Amino acid sequence: METYIPLAKRARLSMACNECRRRKVKCDTEAPKCRNCRLRNDTCTTTDPRRPHIAISREWIEKPRENQESPAAQAGMGQKNSAISSQSPPGLTTSTTTTANIGQSSPSTSATAPRGEEVGISPAQQPHEMAFNTDLSSDRIKMMGASSSQCLMKSLDLYLESAGIPPLSGNFRHGMRQAEEMEIPLVSSLPTLPEACYRDRYVSAFFDKIHPVYPLFDIDNMKHTIQNLSSKSNFHGMPQDQVPMLVSAYLIASIGADEEAQKITEDGTKYLVAAASLLGQIVFVPYLPTVQTLLLFTLVYRGRNKDGVGWQTLGIAIRIAHTLGLHRHSVKNPSTQHGVQSRSKQLFHARIWAICCSLEKMMQLESGRPTMIQDVDRDHMMGPDQHPPGHDFLQCHMGLAQHQGLISYHIYSHKPGSRTAQEILSDTARLDRSLLSWAKELPEEFRPSNDLFCSSHEFHIAAHLSIQYYQTVIALHRAALISPASKFLSEVENHDFDNGSRLRLRASEAICVSSARSIARLAIELSDRNIHSRILTDGPQLLACIVLGISLMKNLGARIMAADLELLKTCVEYTADRFVNSGHNALFAKGIKSIYEQVRLFISRKPSGKITPPMSMNTRSLPDADSTLLRRPENETQPAICPNQYNAREESGNISSNTTTLPKIPEPNTYLDSSTNRVVISASSVDSLPPTLNQDMYSDVLPFDDLNVQELWTWMGDLDYDNYSYVGSYENNGVL
């Protein structure tokens, strides 16, 4: 008896775009515009006729193959899936739910639905402001912003997909637990402080290495407090108003132990867990000592790459600081109606507020999250006669935070379409000039440049300021990095700018890539010097790896490509090791290392005969202000994008010349958040959906070829605009 094998049904489109429906022609899944709209230069949007206010995405719909398998085949597939699941960490299943399901799911539905069953609606069909990742085993949901790492990681994926190479974003899902959670025993243990010999070393390490950047305490008073607490053997009967000082002592011992050993230590973990178990106690004593303690929590968590947890403690600290009026102290406009009239105390309060501003603006830029501090003005903090002796690193840090806040507003806070290309580019040039002015104000030995000439005991501070500066530069110029060079340069030429601004805008891609090289080289130098300070986090290094990967794929054939590829290899190895040493899952580190592997595969598949000689952009032609700030040899050039897309049919390797089907690409439409290192499923409207190629993997169209500056800016800022303009109220205060 012959076995009937049903013919495979042709994949159909979930929904055609509005223009194709109107013209009654075939549509496709190309983004941000379908092929018809691109050829006609029409606006390409896709909305559901039954719900026209919700934009959706076009995708191919196929009948699940497992439904057509025999029972034996289904059983075999189930065993295979079980084996795969057993190799993965528990609770890391990626799933998506529609906006309606989040708010309307009933208890009965939740109880009867299998926990491992994915919701049968594509993530691309959800509104873009509800981009999240769900852990079905525990109902964990995280919503993401448009951080540089997330945005550029998706751009890197698109270049890889253009060559038929699986994207990388899916590898980063394993970072959520480490970045966002802290495991605390249900029954708290309050250990005594370390013995005198260890205590003195830990306290000295904190005040020598951390406190110069973040002066949270009066040194003599805090040392005296720690000395008194060390004489006690039982803290269970301690008055509640003294608990914040005990927690601060625990945290100083924790971060001091890690700083002294230049790695995460057993003592550091023990005292951090003890401090975290008392977090609820200090929140209910909402005064200045609690603000200091919460800021110290943030520093400790960031030093362990737990940026997500640190963001939460920082938020509580800022809320309490607002209630104390710390933000109202001003040298320019002193208040006589505040409870603190002592000049020295007002100055101390102002410095605590400066730490709040510095950390919040730095982390906002890294993550793309909404801000709680609207304005940062370092000049109101203290008068010129009130600076401490030596280098005032906090003043430098707050000055950079002021620029980071303005750049975050520039990137995240404008409604799509509210600015013209001229306005976007003009704002970019203006912010670039102000950022350069901040760098020029730094003492020469700490200034971001080819070399840092400061003393060894301050090198980690200089590296911290430089890395934050370069990370800010990348965020400001990231549009030029992912845009085809010829497209971006033509936009610059079509608008009116002064000569200095035009030169800087034309060099935006070179500036962005040079900043990534600088971060990578600094990371290598820190490793060579065996400096692993707790104020240095590893998110910027990951961002540098992503930028270098995009640059290598855009600029094939450049003579500096071999050097950049080797730099990328060294940087990914260093960054992966750092994340593993801080407790991250080995699969997360494997995802970092795969950046180099996939980029190298992309380069190896490019036929050398089709490389177009790239344009050169010598950094010496940039304005003088830039000459000392780009970490780049004088003879180094920055190529423009190679406009020709290779034809993968001519390539050997994993793709056969006769193959016409795409390789399986895991988890499309995912994004990476730099501060939490968490990848989420993104549900985007078609106008803000990341551009992807046609189903034909050999298309000559490169990502972003059809986007002008306005459209590219809209895609990069794929956020809920209201979260950043503070219009109305929001039930979910955990929006990231």
Residues 309-321: what's their mean pLDDT? 96
pLDDT higher than threshold 90 for residue 569? yes
pLDDT higher than threshold 80 for residue 329? no
Q: For residues 515 and 38, which has the higher predicted lDDT (pLDDT)?
A: 515
Name, of 95-104, 180-189, 337-346, 606-615, the range with top average pLDDT: 180-189
Sequence letter at residue 412: Y
φ, ψ for residue 681, nearest 5 deg? -80, 130
pLDDT, one tens digit per residue, over 385-434 is 556 667 889 999 999 999 999 999 999 888 877 889 999 999 999 999 99
pLDDT of residue 725: 34
DSSP assignment string, 540-562 = HHHHHHHHHHHHHHHSTT-TTHH
DSSP letter, residue 456: G
Most distant CA pair in the chain, distance: 98
Question: Are the CB atoms for 381 and 351 separated by under 8 Å?
Answer: yes
pLDDT of residue 253: 98
Residues 6+ apart with CB under 8 A from 548: 513, 516, 517, 520, 564, 567, 568, 571
pLDDT of residue 179: 86
All structural domains of the chain with their residue ranges = 11-58
pLDDT higher than threshold 90 for residue 257? yes
pLDDT of residue 681: 33
CB-based burial, 121-152: b 16+ in 10 Å, e otherwise: ebbbbbbbbbbbbbbbeeebbbbbbbbbbbbb
Among 595, 581, 586, smallest CA distance to 545 is for 595
pLDDT, one tens digit per residue, over 646-673 is 333 333 333 333 333 333 333 333 444 4
Contacts of residues 417-424 at CB distance under 8 Å and 24 or more positions apart, as own/partner, are 417/710, 417/714, 419/710, 419/713, 420/710, 421/491, 421/494, 421/495, 421/708, 421/709, 421/710, 422/495, 422/496, 424/709, 424/710, 424/713
Residues 362-388: what's their mean pLDDT? 79
The residues facing 133 across adjacent strands are 142
pLDDT range class, residue 586, cuts 50, 70, 90: confident
pLDDT of residue 210: 96
Q: Which class would CATH give 11-58?
A: few secondary structures
Pairing status of strand 670-673 against strand 132-135: unpaired
pLDDT of residue 69: 43
Query: Could you tell me the pTM of the whole model?
Result: 0.72
Q: For residues 567 and 61, which has the higher predicted lDDT (pLDDT)?
A: 567
The Cα 8–Cα 389 span in angstroms is 77
- Token digits of residue 391: 């280098």
pLDDT higher than threshold 50 for residue 108? no
For the chain, give the percent of residues with pLDDT over 90. Answer: 41
Question: Are the CB atoms for 296 and 210 separated by under 8 Å?
Answer: no
Residues 315-338: what's their mean pLDDT? 81
The residues facing 569 across adjacent strands are none
Residues 52-71: what's their mean pLDDT? 55
Q: Is 271 exposed, middle or buried (0-12, 13-18, 19+ CB in 10 A)?
A: buried
